[in-house]
Amino acid sequence: MANDLFNSFMTGPDEQGRFGDFGGRFVSETLMPLILSLEEEYEKAKTDDSFWAEMNDLWTHYVGRPSPLYFAERLTDHLGGAKVYMKRDELNHTGAHKINNVLGQIILARRMGKTRIIAETGAGQHGVATATVCAKFGLKCVVYMGAHDVERQAPNVFRMRLLGAEVVPVTSGRGTLKDAMNDALRDWVTNVRDTFYCIGTVAGPHPYPAMVRDFQAIIGKEVREQMDAAEGRLPDTLVAAIGGGSNAMGLFFPFLDDKDVNIIGVEAGGKGVNAKMEHCASLTGGRPGVLHGNRTYLLQDDDGQILEGFSISAGLDYPGIGPEHAWLHEIGRAKYVSITDVEALEAFQLCCTLEGIIPALEPSHALAHVMKLAPTLPKDHIICMNMCGRGDKDIFTVAKALGFEMGNFG
């Protein structure tokens, strides 16, 4: 692979979409022409200044980029070690990093003359971001969502409907995110002419993992500049939460060739990685297999059946992980750890009272790892974590977990 020649971690994937043994394009013949025309369009857009000019304009005026890099002073004092910075991607329009990627894919769809956008969603954040950008451009939007998730995530379902999207509850399989993604892929092959499939994370067949990473890499690019302005150097350690791995890849990618920068991905440990698969830690608790068109680490039983996983955070319960993470894990460039529900809840509460920021449960996992790490490091060590989403969507879940009855706080 070209990586050996140039000694760079940033040249992948290869022409087949492989990152080492991971990734690729495991799709049916009917899907292949669609994937190839998407790849062709993306390759053109990548080096087209007018494409990036449109992205930058929307990132600035519609999303609110650049998001701030914030020194968490009270948290740093409280932990008593390394300096903790937060990349504030929760301040983006729609409250998370998802819209960075959705904008890129929708602009591509428009260039390809597509008028109907489909998407899968789990917790609903990617569905909301997609419905938002479709409304802005007057595109038809259909969101596939597991029937179980439709019930659990009622506020996001209503948001999508307000934005004019059609939400299709998926009852096949177990009615979760994995099944929603299967149904979206099925829709795509039957509506070839007018439909574009907007994937929400660094998963799916090539070119999606690389393309979504490239759109999310704005996060890490901004951190490089902002950290240089704040500290005059690079951060020492990067920390991000991982569902499929898109916010993490976005933060990590621009730093992959800076060998002195430690990179840590945080998976959802649920009730604990050793407790009968009641977690979503694909790298720390799964093994390689093929799902949704690529080869990566998956949660599976001894027969290769994909397991559902469990986490207090609906946005982290994808049974796989982006193939580039699987590769970074195997070659040792990035380290992957897991954090339990209990630890994430503690970090959530600490962030509220120490920093006045109500974080989403996903980045609360990253923060929980920062809480373990910072006290062990010297005061001149700089940690940057991605605050990839705000917590408004999670307050009911947290209330329940903490034993509060909403409407009865006394």
Closer Cβ to ligand PLP, 248 or 256, answer by number: 248
Instruction: Verify binding: residue 96, ligand PLP, rule CB under 6 A.
Output: yes
Please report, as residue ranges, which positions from 293 to 312 form the binding site for ligand PLP (by CB under 6 A): none
Residue nearest to ligand PLP (CB): 389
Instruction: Verify binding: residue 246, ligand PLP, rule CB under 6 A.
Output: yes
| Distance of closest approach, residue 308 Cβ to ligand PLP, in angstroms | 16
Instruction: Verify binding: residue 254, ligand PLP, rule CB under 6 A.
Output: no
- Candidate residues 12, 24, 244, 286; the one interacting with ligand PLP per rule CB under 6 A: 244
Instruction: Verify binding: residue 245, ligand PLP, rule CB under 6 A.
Output: yes
Closer Cβ to ligand PLP, 117 or 316, answer by number: 316
Closer Cβ to ligand PLP, 83 or 359, answer by number: 359
x/- map, 97-136, ligand PLP, by CB under 6 A:
-x--------------------------xx----------
Instruction: Return d(Cα 86, Cα 70) in angstroms, integer.
Output: 5
Instruction: Verify binding: residue 389, ligand PLP, rule CB under 6 A.
Output: yes
Instruction: Verify binding: residue 315, ligand PLP, rule CB under 6 A.
Output: yes
Applying CB under 6 A, the span of 40-48, 183-191, 237-245, 297-305 interacting with ligand PLP comes to 237-245
Applying CB under 6 A, the span of 153-161, 228-236, 241-249, 368-376 interacting with ligand PLP comes to 241-249
Residues of the shown chain interacting with ligand PLP in the complex, contacts defined by CB under 6 A: 96, 98, 125-126, 201, 241-248, 315-316, 360, 362, 388-389
